[in-house]
Amino acid sequence: MAKHIGSVTQLYRYPVKSMQGESCEHLAIHQGGVQGDRAIALQDVKTGKLVTAKQPVLWKAMLLLQAHTQDDGNLKLTLPSGQQMLATDKQAEELLSDYLGRSITILHKRTDSLELERADPDEVVEHGVEHTVNFETMTAGAGAPDAGFVDYGPVHLIAKSSLEAVGHHALTGKSEPERFRANIIINTDDQTPFCENQWIGNTLCIGEHVQLNITLPTPRCAVPTLEQPGLSSDTTFLSHLKQNNTQPFLEGKQLPSLGVYADVVSPGKIRQGDVVTG
């Protein structure tokens, strides 16, 4: 008999990579991950690389943009000024380029050769977001089984207890789930912080149909430390993760982590309140 893990307490979708997303009552899960999640992205015309706040010296302003999925499926983008546009509007690329200070194009499909830059989060903390620091160049969308723009796995989960533990050591003392950009927040029976590490290698069942194979811990980059709408810049949680939750990642690296990635075994729809077993 499957073990009762907990229940879904919050659901999120981030339609445009590195922009703000939306809280959802339900999510459709397909083989490629969450429908509408990281579905489009921006590309830097000068370098050809993916635009992502993982390289904050160039793209931290991305996190101040809002992306909302309308009832007709179109994406509405909102600048900090309040100006709005559809992602399909002819002037969208020009308006976004003016806001970001660099020429960009909007990508609706990832190519195999697309790359991104991930700044060293420790150096970002030490030197600040205005400075160029060491970074690694990565293949974009490495975890996407289709042409989407997720990083290491199609679905991202975090235990509520882990968010609360990290929030206790943050400046605000709040859990701030939006800061960590997961899709599924689970209120677990086991309230031990970082209990989701124990799910790796196992399959979780959510609701009536969805099954997720938990594959990897989620290593933390500079993005959660950056200013976002309603969230101030905060680096304090990184020290807590370094002391309490470093996990083995690819190539055996031990990295401060929060949450886990998953592949989709069985698709379907999930809702807030759904039971999670595994």
Write the pLDDT tens digit of every residue in 244-278: 999 999 878 899 999 999 999 999 999 999 999 99
- The alpha carbon of 212 is separated from its chain's Cα centroid by a whole number of angstroms, namely 17
Q: How many CA atoms lie within 13 A of 207 on its CB side?
A: 18
Tokens of 100: 């970001």
H or E stretch including 121?
A: helix 121-127
* Residue 107 domain boundaries: 4-277
H or E stretch including 12?
A: strand 4-13
pLDDT band at 2; cut points 50, 70, 90: confident
pLDDT band at 143; cut points 50, 70, 90: confident
Can you tell me the distance from the alpha carbon of 269 to that of 272, in angstroms, rounded to the nearest whole number? 10
Q: 68-117, pLDDT tens digit by residue?
A: 999 999 999 999 999 999 999 999 999 999 999 999 999 999 988 999 99
Q: What is the pTM of this model?
A: 0.96
| Least confident among 6-20, 25-39, 130-144 | 130-144
Contact 197, 205 (CB under 8 A): no
- Total number of domains in the chain: 1
| pLDDT at residue 141, as a whole number | 82
| pLDDT at residue 147, as a whole number | 67
Between strands 4-13 and 22-24, the pairing is antiparallel
- What CATH number does residue 12 fall under? 2.40.33.20
Can you tell me the distance from the alpha carbon of 278 to that of 276, in angstroms, rounded to the nearest whole number? 7
